[in-house]
Amino acid sequence: MQKTTTVAQYLIDKLKKEGVYDIFGIPGDYVIRFFGELEKCGDFNIITTCSEQGAAFAADAYSRMNGLGVLCVTYCVGGLNTVNAVAGAYAEKAPLIVISGAPGLSERHNKYLLHHSVRDLNSQYNIFKELTVASCQLEDAATAPYEIDRVIGACIEHKRPVYIELPRDMLDAKCAVPSYHPISPNKKDENTFQEAINEALAMFKLAKQPVIIGGEEIRRYKLEEIFTGLLEKAGCPYATTILGKSIIDESHPQFIGVYMGRLGDEEVRDYIEHSDCIFILGALNTDTNLGTAQFDLSKTIFAAHDTLRIKHHFYNNIDLGEFINSLSEQLVNNEIRNSFKHKEPICFEVQPDAAISVKRFFERLNSFVKENSVVVCDVGDSLFGSVDIKIPKGSSYLGPAYYTSMGYAIPAGIGVSIRRPDMKPVIIVGDGAFQMTGYELSCYVKYKLKPTIFVLNNEGYTTQRYLQEGEFNNIQDWNYHMLPIIFGGGLGIEVSTEAELEEALTKADMNDSSFTLINVHMDKFDKSPTLYRFTQVLSEKIHA
C-alpha cells in the first residue's frame, strides 16, 4: 500500500532529506501556517530578519557556505521584496530554494481582488520564472511531490535559485509519497570524453608556461579536493577569479593571486595572458571575472558545469568534476613550474598620527584576518580593496563580485554566522551600502552573532564619484559607532587615525560577547588601485 502524507509535510521532509535545517524569512498571512508547521516539526531553526531582502541575502550567503539555502516569505509584498537578492543568487550561482505562500485555491473564485495581489494571481510566479532555473505552483496534490522533487533537484543540479508557490489551503491536502526509481544521469560518450582529455593533455604537455584559473563552480560543486589534486599533479601556478577567491587555501605555494583582466593586478594579468596554455575551470564568463581578458583562444581551455571549449572546439555533455579528475589521473607528476615572481609580503608599520587610507587599511587588515575566518564584502572598495587580502587556511571569502548589489554584506553576515558559528566573520561594507540594509544589525543582537564589522565611511558612493561627480553621490553621515545603543547590544568604535585603528582592532579581537562595529573615517576621494582600474574601464563605456 502506498504511503500518504500532506503537501506541507512532503515539502518539509524533502528539506530535511537535503540537509537544510536553517530557514530564513518573514511570515505573513499567506504563509504563516507553513511557518507553524516548520516550528511544530522541531527540527528547523527559523531565522526572521528585519526585511525580506535581508532574509534573502542571508539565505544566499548561507547557501554559498552550505551548498543549499532556503528562503520562506509571504505572497507578493514579501516575495517581491526579495527579487533583487534572488536575482543576484541566480547571477552568481547560489543554490537557493524560495518558498512563497499564496492565496488558497478556494479563495480565487469570487469577484474580489485578494490583498497583496498585483496584476493577477500569477504575477509573482511569472516574475520569479525570470529569476530561477525552475519553478512550480503546488495547485494539485497528486502532482505536488513530483513538482517539489523536480524543482529542488534543478536547484541542486544547476546551483541556481528555484521557486515553489504554496497556496495556503494546500498545506493539508493529502498526497501519495512517490515510489522512485533512480534516474540514470545522461551517459557521456566515452570516445568524445577521451578525445577532450587527450586534446587538453596534449596542450599542457607542449606548454612552457601553463597556468590554471579556478572559479566559483569549484566551490559550488564541492570540487575543491580534486581541483587541488590537479594543481599538485600539474605543478603549474594557479589564480582564481574574484568570485572564486579562496576556493582553496591561498597559502598554497602555487597560488599567484586573483585574476580580473584589466581590472586586476598587472603582474598577475601579464603572467596569465602571456601563458601558452590557460586552463579556466569552473568560472562564470562575466565582465568582472573574465570580460576584460586578453586571451588567445588557441591557447585556452574553458571548462564549466555546462560547457567545455578547447581552443575553438566545443564538447557537449562533459561533467566538470569528471573532466578535472580525469585530467589529474592521466597527468604525469610534474615538478612545480612557477616562474611567477611573488611580491615580498608587506611589513606593516603603524604611522600613529596618519589618517587611514584605503590602501593602508587593507594592508593592515591582511594580518588581522586569522585562520578560520570568513571575509564578507559589500561592493565598491569593500570588494575591490579586499582582493589582495590573502585568505588564510581554513577560511573563506564572499562578495557579490558580478551582480554587485549594494547592501549584501550585513545580512549576508547573518547567513554565514548561522551556518558556521565556529568561524569568525569579518565584514567590510561601505557607508552607502550600509545605509541600505544596516538595520539587520538588530539580528546580530537577537541571535547573539559576533562578527567584526568595518564601515568604510567616506560619506558617499566612491565608485560613482569616479564615473560622474555630482551632489547625488553624497549621503548623510551617520554615527555608525553609536548604533549598538539603538539595537541594544554590540561594541561601537570610531576611528580616524592608524593609532586609533590599532586600538580598535585590539578591542575587536578581545570582544567575544557581541559584534564589534568600527566606523572607519576615510577621505571621500580615496580609492584602491583595483577600484581605480575598474572605474577607468567602466568610464570608457559610459562616456564613449
pLDDT mean over 12-19: 96
The answer to whether the CB of 252 falls within 8 A of the CB of 240 is no
Domain boundary among 126, 145, 176: 176
For residue 230, pLDDT over 70 is answered with yes
The answer to whether the CB of 451 falls within 8 A of the CB of 427 is yes
pLDDT at 254: 92
**CATH number of the CATH domain containing 457:** 3.40.50.970
The DSSP annotation for 430-477 comes to: EHHHHHHHGGGHHHHHHTT---EEEEEESSB-HHHHTTS-SGGGB---
pLDDT at 6: 97
Tell whether 300 is covered by a domain: yes
Q: What is the pLDDT of residues 144-191, one digit of tens each?
A: 999 999 999 999 999 999 999 999 999 999 999 998 765 666 677 889
Strand residue runs (E) in 216-293: 238-240, 255-258, 277-281
- Which residues are 301's β-sheet partners? 279, 310
Q: Could you give the number of structural domains in the chain?
A: 3
Q: What is the pLDDT of residues 194-214, one digit of tens each?
A: 999 999 999 999 999 999 999
pLDDT at 186: 65
Tell whether 336 is covered by a domain: no
Please give the residue range of the domain that contains residue 19: 4-176
pLDDT at 433: 97
Q: Within this chain, do residues 417 and 464 fall inside the same structural domain, yes or no?
A: yes
Domain boundary among 120, 149, 176: 176
Q: Predicted confidence band at 292 (pLDDT cuts at 50, 70, 90)? A: confident
pLDDT mean over 74-97: 97
For 507, the grid coordinates are 578591542
Tell whether 353 is covered by a domain: no
> Where do the H-state alpha helices sit in 67-122?
83-91
Exposure class string for 181-216: b at 16+ Cβ within 10 A, else e: eeeeeeebeeeebeebbeebeebbeebebbbbbbbb
Nearest CA to 517 among 456, 461, 437? 456
The answer to whether the CB of 398 falls within 8 A of the CB of 41 is no
* Beta-carbon contacts of residue 509 (< 8 Å; ≥ 6 apart): none
For residue 338, pLDDT over 70 is answered with no
Q: Within this chain, do residues 294 and 427 fall inside the same structural domain, yes or no?
A: no
For residue 446, pLDDT over 70 is answered with yes
Tell whether 543 is covered by a domain: no
Cβ neighbours around 472 below 10 Å, total:
10
d(C-alpha 530, C-alpha 287), whole Å: 14
For residue 410, pLDDT over 80 is answered with yes
Q: What single-letter DSSP state applies at residue 72? A: E
Q: Within this chain, do residues 166 and 212 fall inside the same structural domain, yes or no?
A: no
d(C-alpha 269, C-alpha 287), whole Å: 15
Q: Within this chain, do residues 279 and 222 fall inside the same structural domain, yes or no?
A: yes
Q: Within this chain, do residues 322 and 198 fall inside the same structural domain, yes or no?
A: yes
**CATH number of the CATH domain containing 254:** 3.40.50.1220
| Number of residues in the chain | 544
Tell whether 96 is covered by a domain: yes
Model pTM score:
0.95
d(C-alpha 241, C-alpha 259), whole Å: 5
d(C-alpha 409, C-alpha 415), whole Å: 10
Q: What single-letter DSSP state applies at residue 82? A: G
Q: Within this chain, do residues 417 and 448 fall inside the same structural domain, yes or no?
A: yes
Place of cell 579562496: 246
The answer to whether the CB of 124 falls within 8 A of the CB of 163 is no
Q: Within this chain, do residues 364 and 503 fall inside the same structural domain, yes or no?
A: yes
d(C-alpha 75, C-alpha 86), whole Å: 15
Q: Within this chain, do residues 509 and 425 fall inside the same structural domain, yes or no?
A: yes
Q: Rounded to 5 degrees, what are φ and ψ at 2?
A: -75, 135
Tell whether 338 is covered by a domain: no
pLDDT at 335: 66
For 145, the grid coordinates are 511531490
Tell whether 542 is covered by a domain: no
pLDDT at 184: 60
Residue type at 292?
T
- Which residues are 75's β-sheet partners? none
Q: Within this chain, do residues 311 and 366 fall inside the same structural domain, yes or no?
A: no
Q: Within this chain, do residues 260 and 393 fall inside the same structural domain, yes or no?
A: no
Q: What is the pLDDT of residues 33-79, one digit of tens each?
A: 999 999 999 899 999 999 999 999 999 999 999 999 999 999 999 99
Q: Within this chain, do residues 375 and 522 fall inside the same structural domain, yes or no?
A: yes
- Which residues are 307's β-sheet partners? 304
Mean pLDDT rounded to a whole number for the chain: 92
Q: Within this chain, do residues 282 and 320 fall inside the same structural domain, yes or no?
A: yes
Which helix (H) or strand (E) element contains residue 427?
strand 424-430
Tell whether 183 is covered by a domain: no
Nearest CA to 141 among 16, 32, 1, 9? 9
Domain boundary among 330, 347, 366: 330
